[in-house]
Homo-oligomer: A and B are copies of this chain.
Amino acid sequence: MLNKNLIDLGDLSSAQIDKLIRRAKKIMQSPADYRHACDGKILATLFYEPSTRTQMSFQTAMLKLGGRTIGFDNPMNSSVAKGESLKDTISIISLYADIIAIRHPVEGTAMAASLYSEVPLINCGDGGHLHPTQTLTDIVTLSCEKGRLDNLKIGVCGDLLNGRTVHSLIKTLSKYENNSFVLISTPELSVPLYVIDILEKNNCKYEFSNSLADAVSDLDMLYMTRIQRERFKSEEDYEAQKNVFVLDKEKLSRAREDMIILHPLPRVNEITVDIDDDPRALYFKQAQYGMYGRMALILMLLQDDEFMIDSAKPELSGHRCKNPRCVTQTEEYLPNYCYEKLGMEMCHYCDKRID
C-alpha cells in the first residue's frame, strides 16, 4: 500500500535508502541550495513524551530547509490531558501542518496516527517498538564515514536485548552484502531470537562475545549502547562486568585506526569522556549527520512524488491485539488491523503476534 509515512525503516527499499543518503550528502555539501526548499511549509512535532534531542533535530532540519514548526513537548499541556483521542488530535493537526513528526510512549501509535493524517507522518519513536530516523542517522553516518554500507564488520555492544536501535540497525545492515556482526553483551542481555533469525535468513556472519576488549580489535564500526545496572541479575554480576562493557582509552588502543564509534545517545558512562576527542569518536558528529538525514527525509516526503513508501496493506482480524503496550489497548476505535507473517496474524500497529 503506497503512502508517504515513514513508520518502519524496513518499508524502504535499498534504492530508497540510497536515495535518502545521497540527498543527505548533497545537502551537507551545499546547504545554502536548500535554504528555501520548504519555504511556507510547516512541520508539527507532536512529542507525547520528552525527547529534546530528536525534537530539536527535526526542528532544526525543518528550519534549515526554510520551513517552520509548531508542536508540543509535554502531553500535560496538550488537549490529550482533556482526554482527546489520538484520532481527533491528528485529524486536526494534519489540517494545520504540511508534515507531522510524532513520538509516543505507546507501541504502534505512529502507525495508528498515520491512518488519520492527511499529510506525511514520521515515526520518531513509539515506545520500545521502532525509531526509524535513529537508524537512518546511523547509516548516513556509516555511509559518509566509511564510504559504504556493505563489507563491514560491525560490533554492537551493551544491552542488546532491549535496545531497539540495535535491532533496527542489524535488520537494516543485514540486507547489504557481506556484513558481519559481533554481538558483545552478557548472556542475559543478548539479542532476542528474532534478530538471530534475521541474521540467519540474510546469511550474515555473526559471533557472540562477552569481552569488548577482545572484540574491539578487528571492527570497522563499534556501536555502543547504554547498559543499565538494573538489567543485571545481582549487584555482584554488575560489579563483575561493569568495566567489561565500558569503552575506555585502554580498550580503544586495541582498535584499528579507521574504526568508528557510534552511540544513539544519551550516554551514561559506557564511554569514558577522555575518548571524546579521539578522531574515531563520532557519536556527536553522528547527531549532525542525523539532522541532514532528517532534512533529506522531509524533502523526499514533501516534494518527491516518486518517493512512495510501500507498507503492508492491513486486513481485518477477528481478534484484538493483546499486547498490553499496544496502542489498540487505549485507542478503542482503532480497527483490528493485522497482516500475515509465516501463517500467523501480526498486529498492524505493534507487530506483535495476535493469538
Binding site for B on A (CB under 8 A): 32, 35, 40, 42, 44, 50-53, 56-57, 59-60, 63-64, 68, 70-74, 76-85, 87-88, 91-93, 95-97, 265-268, 273, 276, 284-285, 287-288, 291, 333
Which of B42, B74, B83, B268 contacts A77, CB < 8 Å?
B74
A40 touches B35 (CB 8 A): yes
Q: Which residue of B lies closest to A273 (CB)?
A: B333
A68 CA / B57 CA spacing, docked (Å): 14
- Contacts of A268 on B, CB cut-off 8 Å? 83
A79-B53 contact in complex given A35-B40, A70-B63, A88-B266, C-beta closer than 8 Å:
yes
- Contacts of A42 on B, CB cut-off 8 Å? 60, 63-64
> Chain A contact residues: over half helix, strand or loop, or mixed?
helix
B64 touches A291 (CB 8 A): no
A81 touches B40 (CB 8 A): no
- Contacts of A80 on B, CB cut-off 8 Å? 52
- Contacts of A81 on B, CB cut-off 8 Å? 50
Which of B44, B92, B287 contacts A287, CB < 8 Å?
B92
A60 touches B70 (CB 8 A): yes
- Cβ-closest 6 pairs across A and B: A84-B266, A50-B77, A95-B288, A52-B78, A273-B333, A60-B96
A298 CA / B178 CA spacing, docked (Å): 50
Q: Which residue of B lies closest to A61 (CB)?
A: B96
A97 CA / B96 CA spacing, docked (Å): 23
A332 CA / B56 CA spacing, docked (Å): 26
Interface-central residue, A70, A81, A91, A92, by most chain B CB under 10 Å: A92
A291 CA / B93 CA spacing, docked (Å): 11
A52 touches B35 (CB 8 A): no
A77 CA / B56 CA spacing, docked (Å): 12
A47 to chain B, nearest CB (A): 8
Q: What are some 30 contacts across the A-B interface (CB < 8 A)?
A: A35-B40, A42-B60, A44-B56, A51-B79, A52-B72, A52-B77, A52-B79, A53-B79, A56-B70, A60-B70, A60-B97, A68-B68, A73-B74, A74-B77, A83-B268, A84-B265, A84-B266, A85-B273, A87-B276, A88-B266, A88-B267, A88-B284, A91-B284, A92-B265, A92-B287, A92-B288, A95-B287, A95-B291, A96-B288, A273-B333
B87 touches A273 (CB 8 A): yes
A125 to chain B, nearest CB (A): 13
- Contacts of A273 on B, CB cut-off 8 Å? 85, 87, 333
- Contacts of A32 on B, CB cut-off 8 Å? 40
Interface-central residue, A50, A72, A285, by most chain B CB under 10 Å: A50
A270 to chain B, nearest CB (A): 12
A199 CA / B97 CA spacing, docked (Å): 39
A108 CA / B92 CA spacing, docked (Å): 29
A51 CA / B70 CA spacing, docked (Å): 14
- Contacts of A82 on B, CB cut-off 8 Å? 266
A68 touches B73 (CB 8 A): no
B92 touches A53 (CB 8 A): yes
